[in-house]
Amino acid sequence: MGRPHPMALRERVVAFVQEGHCNREASRDFRVSPRFVNDLMNLHRNAGSLAAKPQGRPCGSGKLADHHEWVRQRMAQNGDLTLDELCIELGQRDLNVHRSSVGRQLHRLGLSHKKKPGGQRTAPA
């Protein structure tokens, strides 16, 4: 996802349109899309602010947000569980999740899923 346009550009575009120029002319002059100018003018008219809306999901949301402690306890009980086994156990708790979601959850909780400690993967023969 890209970054929002700078506040200075947003202010210049709104001032340009308020001087009496049309939105398409503003989009050509400032080299932005006509949709950006339309959305910006709607935002200015309705909210009175030009600040960009937050991008992405809020941290801590999602299906697994309420299950952090259960996953942490389950991994403490049996650290050899695979992602698929965790998905099955979560499914028994009426929670249908993909294994990549469980992997991201383990990563956020700081739980490694490596079977061997680092440096012992390739031992000399």
**Does residue 54 form part of some domain?**
no
At 112, is the pLDDT very low, low, confident or very high (cuts 50, 70, 90)?
Answer: low
Range of the domain at 14: 7-47
Q: How many domains does the chain have?
A: 2
**Does residue 123 form part of some domain?**
no
Confidence at residue 15, expressed as pLDDT on a 0 to 100 scale: 97
pLDDT tops 90 at residue 104: no
**Does residue 116 form part of some domain?**
no
What is the average pLDDT score of the chain? 86
Cα separation, 110 vs 105, whole angstroms: 9
**Does residue 71 form part of some domain?**
yes
Q: What is the mean pLDDT of residues 38-65?
A: 86
**Does residue 56 form part of some domain?**
no
pLDDT tops 80 at residue 79: no
Contact partners, residue 53, CB within 8 Å, separation at least 6: none
Confidence at residue 57, expressed as pLDDT on a 0 to 100 scale: 72
**Does residue 17 form part of some domain?**
yes
41 and 13 fall within a common domain: yes
Least confident of 6-10, 46-50, 67-71, 120-124: 120-124
Q: Give percent above pLDDT 90 in the chain.
A: 45
End-to-end CA distance of the chain: 48
Angle, in degrees to the nearest 10, between helices 68-77 and 99-108: 90
**Does residue 91 form part of some domain?**
yes
pLDDT tops 80 at residue 100: yes
pLDDT tops 70 at residue 29: yes
Count the residues in the chain: 125
Contact partners, residue 45, CB within 8 Å, separation at least 6: none
**Does residue 43 form part of some domain?**
yes
